Amino acid sequence: MICLRAYKYRIYPNREQRGKLAVQFGHARFVYNYALNARKEHYRKTGKGLSYSATAKMLPGMKKELEWLREADSQVLQQKLRDLDRAYVNFFQKRAAYPRFRSKHSKQSIRYPQRFKIIGNRIRLPKVGDVKIILHRRMEGVAKNVTVSRTKSGRYFASVRCEVVIPVSDNGHPPVGVDLGIRHFAILSTGEKVAHPSYLRKSEKRLVRFQRMLSKKKKGSANRGKMRLKVARLHERVADRRKDFLDKQSYRLTTQYGAIGLESLNIRGMVRNHCLAKSVSDSGWGMFVRQCEYKAAVNGASVHHADRFFPSSKMCNVCGVVNSELKLGDRIWTCGNCGTEHDRDINAAVNLEKLCILLGLWFFMA
């Protein structure tokens, strides 16, 4: 099986290279915003959209009119237009909001589809040079493109996308059901409960203090810039710790179990609930599910999703009777049919495991 895998490495450009990357970021951002404005104006006047090819044809004229655009790599500008086209596709397929103009204060990124090369501990980037890279893990497969990014806190990364051939095999491990929750991050059908790290909650007081200090700084001042950097670093620290936790948990599940049963959670709807929004966002359920899916393919496991309205918590895992009167606050309940006492979360996980076995058998028979 052929799949795409990204290897993300920290890079350390020197002062001159940071200046050259700033040029690439700035010019790419300008082209993105210019094309977005052109698309909006064209739709306002004609009621029709513009395709990627139509915006790409605008580039030669833009370079003649604005000669400084020639400082940027031509493929970087083309890839930025592809990013805009993808943003529109995601919007129309209801996976994202309408594309917005990019700010110089937000995360910056550019993509090289070719003409890059890793030589020892350096990565060669067109119109930038040989940049120091920390290869902390071995890269496998054929490199297809590289995305260079700068975070809000000023860190630089290179994400190399590779085409990898993975042998299709079954790891032979037993199935497991996983119920994701607020009180505990995950409850397994084995009875194991994974504690919620709550990284955002733990950093909340410090973050509020920093944001309050930032709001009092004069706009455009050096002190405001320093404070914005502190806020960005704290946000990134929380995100990095959360991602590390999710990586480890998803890897453990996909290597210890052969099939994983998960709920189909309406995360967008849950985030709209102001009582749950912060806890749901801090959990990172969406990222966890995506990590389980792609790691399962690599580790010989499979992931099966229950229907969104599957009554995993309300259905007795012994006799199958559904307790329609069960409330969210009922953590322990007894089945009125067979008399079995259930822990709400463990019962849900066991039902997900059973469903996982049925779905896996159906796919096998098909």
Mark whether 345 and 285 lie in a shared domain. yes
Determine, yes or no, domain membership for 238. no
For residue 192 the two structure tokens come to 């194991």
- Quickly state the pLDDT bin for 130 (edges 50, 70, 90): very high
Contacts of 42 (CB under 8 A, 6+ apart): 48, 49, 50
Determine, yes or no, domain membership for 338. yes
Domain enclosing residue 323, as ranges? 175-200+244-365
Is 345 among the residues known to form the active site? yes
Q: What is the pLDDT of residue 328?
A: 82
- Quickly state the pLDDT bin for 365 (edges 50, 70, 90): very low
Determine, yes or no, domain membership for 208. no
Give yes or no for residue 37 having a pLDDT over 50. yes
> Distance between CA 82 and CA 32 in Å, rounded?
9
Mark whether 99 and 180 lie in a shared domain. no
Q: What is the pLDDT of residue 162?
A: 95
Determine, yes or no, domain membership for 217. no
> Distance between CA 324 and CA 201 in Å, rounded?
33
Mean pLDDT of 112-127: 96
Better pLDDT: 359 or 80 = 80
Q: How many CA atoms lie within 13 A of 113 on its CB side?
A: 9
Mean pLDDT of 74-98: 95
CB 129 within 8 A of CB 117: no
Select from 138, 165, 192 the last residue of a domain: 165
Output DSSP code: residue 186: E
Mark whether 286 and 323 lie in a shared domain. yes
Give yes or no for residue 69 having a pLDDT over 80. yes
Amino acid 313 reads: S
Please identify which of the residues 73, 85, 345, 353 carries the catalytic annotation.
Answer: 345
For residue 203 the two structure tokens come to 């950093």
Could you give the C-alpha distances from 153 to 25, 75, 107, 230, 309, in angstroms and in order?
Answer: 15, 26, 9, 8, 42
Determine, yes or no, domain membership for 216. no
Determine, yes or no, domain membership for 225. no
Q: What is the pLDDT of residue 361?
A: 56
Query: Percent of the chain, pLDDT > 70?
Result: 98
Mark whether 183 and 111 lie in a shared domain. no
Mark whether 128 and 188 lie in a shared domain. no
> Distance between CA 138 and CA 64 in Å, rounded?
43
Select from 165, 192, 227 the last residue of a domain: 165
- Quickly state the pLDDT bin for 126 (edges 50, 70, 90): very high
Mark whether 11 and 147 lie in a shared domain. yes
Please identify which of the residues 73, 83, 85, 179 carries the catalytic annotation.
Answer: 179
Mark whether 146 and 266 lie in a shared domain. no
Mark whether 151 and 186 lie in a shared domain. no
> Distance between CA 50 and CA 42 in Å, rounded?
7
Mark whether 97 and 182 lie in a shared domain. no
Three-state DSSP at 100 gives coil
Mark whether 63 and 125 lie in a shared domain. yes
Mark whether 195 and 95 lie in a shared domain. no
Contacts of 193 (CB under 8 A, 6+ apart): 184, 186, 187, 345
Mean pLDDT of 296-319: 90
Give yes or no for residue 363 having a pLDDT over 60. no
Q: What is the pLDDT of residue 298?
A: 86
β-bridge partners, 119 = 122
Q: What is the pLDDT of residue 307?
A: 87
> Distance between CA 284 and CA 241 in Å, rounded?
11
For residue 218 the two structure tokens come to 């004069």
Determine, yes or no, domain membership for 209. no
pTM of the model: 0.84
| Strand segments (E) across 218-337 | 259-262, 302-305, 332-334
Which backbone phi and psi does 216 adopt, to 5 degrees?
A: -90, -10
- Quickly state the pLDDT bin for 362 (edges 50, 70, 90): very low
Please identify which of the residues 73, 83, 85, 263 carries the catalytic annotation.
Answer: 263
**H/E element, 80:** helix 74-92
Mean pLDDT of 143-151: 97
Q: How many domains does the chain have?
A: 2
243-266 residue pLDDT tens? 999 999 999 999 999 999 999 887
H helix and E strand count, the chain: 10, 14
CB 258 within 8 A of CB 302: yes
Output DSSP code: residue 68: G
Select from 165, 191, 221 the last residue of a domain: 165
Cα–Cα nearest to 110, from 57, 56, 74: 74
Determine, yes or no, domain membership for 239. no
Mark whether 306 and 258 lie in a shared domain. yes
> Distance between CA 227 and CA 217 in Å, rounded?
8
Average pLDDT over the chain, rounded to whole? Answer: 91
